[in-house]
Structure 1
Amino acid sequence: MIQGGISMSLRVNHNIPAVSSYHQMLGVSNRLEKSVERLSSGLRINRAADDAAGLTISEKLRRQVRGLARATMNAQDGISMIQSAEGALNETHSILHRMRELAIQASNDTLTSRDRLEIQKEVVQLRDDINRIAFNTEFNTKKLLDGSQNAAVSTSSAYAHGLVTGNVPEGGDYQVSLALLQAGSAQLQTTHLFSLRDSNLLAQGDSMLQSIAQFYDANGVFVLEEPQTITLHGNARSAEVVIDAYTSLDEFASRLQSAMLSKKDGLGIDNSVVNVVVTSQTMIAGLGGYLEITSGYIGEKGCVSLAGDESLMTALSISTARAAKDNLVEVSLTDKDKQTRVTQIDCDRASGLLSGVDVQFDSQAAQIAGSRGLVEGLYLSAAESFMVEAGGQLIGLAIASGYSTLEGVARSLNVQIQSTAAGSLPGMSAQVVNGEIRLAYQRPVSVSYAFGNNIKISYAGPTSVLGFQNGTYSGFVESAKDTDKMAWGFSQYQPGIEVSTVAAIEVGDGQTSILVNICRSISAEPGVASAADMISFEEFKNKTNKDFADAGVNVRVDQVEGSIMFTSTLIGRDNVAAGTAYSSMVTIEAVTVTALNATATAAETMLRYFGMSAGTKSGVGDSNFSMHVQQNENQYHIGANQMEVMKVSFSEMSAKALGVDNLDMTTVEGAELAIGKLNKAIDLVSAERSKLGAFQNRLEYAITNLRNMNVNASASESRIRDADIAMEMIEYTRNQVVSKSANAMLAQANTNAAGVLSLLR
């Protein structure tokens, strides 16, 4: 605004009206230019000068809008990744259902061994395809189902693995230790007692299969007219053994053992042994001439099955003499802060020590186990005495308190029945029939028929400790076994062991050894133990394990079913390549047994009474190893700002992680066990798919929310930065009119000064 009024006087140095008009015209022109710019760009703010504060707010909103748009696309990509994984698991589900169907089929005894072998072949292929899906399913070259998209786990031991089973909240370095709490057992299988066809004598190691009667069917047809193949399955591997008519039992055993031991084309089960057991080893007439197949791995991992032509498998008649039982192992995991978590398991896979990671190990403790020797017996808490009357004679019978085998009780009763000091009872005897003690009486001809074959029992109470009840019985009376008082043990009395005999073995761990007494002294009276007939295995175990601990021998003794076994308390072995000794070792040496008989040796005694051979066994794997866990969860950035992320984990879905890497359909027992494993595997895949489905649903909701936020942020930014075209047109029109008026007035102002010339004429 020009200060002061416009003078009506005429001046020539300054054309004030023109200057004033020009000034106004420039202002209108500037406003007109801005209107044209806004109308051309559609933006109210084209530079910071247009609205400094508005530009700042607008840029924040624009940043938000573009971030939300990218986050929406990220979420859509995440859904695509999840759908890829979930679609692959749908096929895994289908495979598991097919495997379960095959397991149910294999559990039916209408099938032959050969049929199950064909089923096993399909199961192996299905297992391999589960692994193919797990290790080959990708999205943008990223493996989805091998566990790497959750955590990377590595161990210092080739015998240990970390299986990613869920969300891993933290990584780090951990120390894992394995300690044996209670020994399990390795599978022991035996064949028929083979006899020679011509002589009916028991077969020997050099007997050829064509000479053995069991290899001929009921029609006299030899089952090995053509060479036959036997397929072994175990340790998630298969191997084949070929035999023919000219194969000897020793050769057969050697081939089976090689197939079990070989890591190249066999089962890779260390310490496995296949023996031909003959009568000279058992020292029992009529017991021998059979194969004894002992797995070298303790527990289910060492289970081995044999399959082949039905006629051949019938000839072999393989049965399980001792079932596999897993060790009870304490697994401890220590983190960098020296915090230790401990769990006890009876399998090879520890869960719960670290969230989202299971520790799986193949380490084994060394073990030497017997195949027989332990029997069930009775525990009598108090001495037993009662009166027995038959044939007009009345005698008293007594059994000492303590542990006794049923046969030991019968022996003691028979000695007393026939004892003249007790007033003998001719015609009566004590027998063990189907696990029960029976008193039987057959009236001798010297006894009057008037007495009949009756037995009368008299006891102070209604029932004796042994289970005999008061009353009169015709011919015989059986006692009822009290199963609560049954115990495992081994008899002090053994045929052939004389008075004051001690049978002992030397047990060690490769560094230290001690002498372990097995059979104790026997009383002077033939066939009668000086105290309880049976050594309670529990008492023997407690004492022997204490002796081991006191002597610093890393071995423990345990009982599984009817077998006694010595197992290293250490698991695994040290670095053998570097020349260091095994850390897990058991050695057993036969010790000379005194007063046994003229020909018996300590080794024969061990084989005869316990089915145990002298030797050394070493462990497999490592008992201590480190484990490194690196968190590697997928992160989906589903927001416009920093750390607005969603964590998504993909668990490992391999056959090993699902627990179906070692299914055995070649036996009914294995197929039944497989059904349970497959049920668990199906549940694991279902849980993983449910988790992925939940992730996808969450992302879909996130996308909806992101789009809503994008719309609102875009609207806000538009209100600040975009031009209001209607209002801008009004402003443009006004400025355009004013601009034209200003041009006209400038022209008029320039003509006003022309009047001065008339004054100068």
Structure 2
Amino acid sequence: MISLIQTAEGALNETHSILQRMRELSVQAANDTATDDDRAALQDEVKQLKSEIDRIGTDTEFNTKKLLNGDLSGSQVGGVGSKLGDATAASIKIDNFDPTTNAITSGISQEVQVKVDGQTFNLSGVTGADHFEFFQNLESALSSEIDTYNTNNPNAQITKPKFEITDVQSETSMDFVITSGTTGSSSQIEFRILEDTGNTTAPANTDLITKLADDTTWEAGSDGQLSAASAQAISDLESIDKLTMSVNGNKIDVDLTTVAAASYSANDEIAGTGKLSADLKTDIQAALDKYEELTGTDFGNVDVKVKDGSLVIESDKADTVTIEFAKGTAADALGLSGTGTSNTGGLDFHIGANKGQSINLQINDMTTKGLNVADIDISTREGADNAIKSLDDAIKSVSTERANLGAVQNRLDHTINNLSTSSENLTAAESRIRDVDYALAA
């Protein structure tokens, strides 16, 4: 167990060093003393460094188990509820789409930048005699690029977005929709028309730009939107309706002061515009803070997240705090009735002789995608400036992961010492029993 942790931590030490080097290069590229050629050379090194981070993330293993590619990510959570709504995909919708309109002025091949679920694809020479042909060729070019990317990144696959025509009103009026192949807050689909692949800030002079600016609806992906029934049930809750929660076996009633005072509607984002997750977090934390004030017991800070349309409640002391919800009106409306703490993902280390004597370890995705640095491009001053912030966040994530691994390793050291002491004392006790003089006792 300790050797596994040391293997992961040693690999992250190198990832940490690579990120520091990438930050140095970004600072250099952010200065106007660097020329475009200088920045291009710096970006070449950044590209190689990103590839090495991915190699470390995908190849680091212990006894054939991949350690850093996200397979062991997870958390100990309390109250993974039933669905209140569905997760949605990001989409682009061009209203009143006219497929016959010329797409490219004077037949010029177009440069298009497409972002799909955090990965950027620069497509060169997309052509089309009209709008419809342009989007057909765009889909084909993007599909080819995604195939190449997936072949080169077997552990970080991108799902192809869907291109479709809907709501046909006439030959020249219909809706054209591009939808991400994934759902949730990480779902992303967006594109820009560029002057050229080296100039990512200036849109080309084409009538398609006007169409996109005037008639396009952009929808972000959501971890979940309230169904009409759930929105009504939660809106009907009153302040007298208590959410009964058991924390480490201690019964705590949550006053739904904030939730009951709010109103929720169908299609509200559970963690977005409707703010249900934020409202519930406020009420649960107030109950925990009040319990600590009365008893001195600190159960940590609670977080309310959304996963695929369900509420997920967890404490930042997840290793030592368990949360369960009793059935009731409030718990039913929030989808939390009868739910409780569970380990999802990660590795279970059995550290005792009896059932349930184990600890759980999770290691997050430490590839460039998991660290949100896969898109870094310092070939422009603006890109280099943005990269500095992204790399700071990535360095913090790696530092946090290494700290967590170190904490678990230290805990295991103490566990081993305690088990050794227990084993010695049990052996001594068994010896005294075995050596007792029954004749003398009689």
Normalising by the residue count of structure 1, what TM-score does the alignment of the two structures yield?
0.30
More helix by share: 2
Normalising by the residue count of structure 2, what TM-score does the alignment of the two structures yield?
0.49
**Largest Rg, 1 or 2:** 1
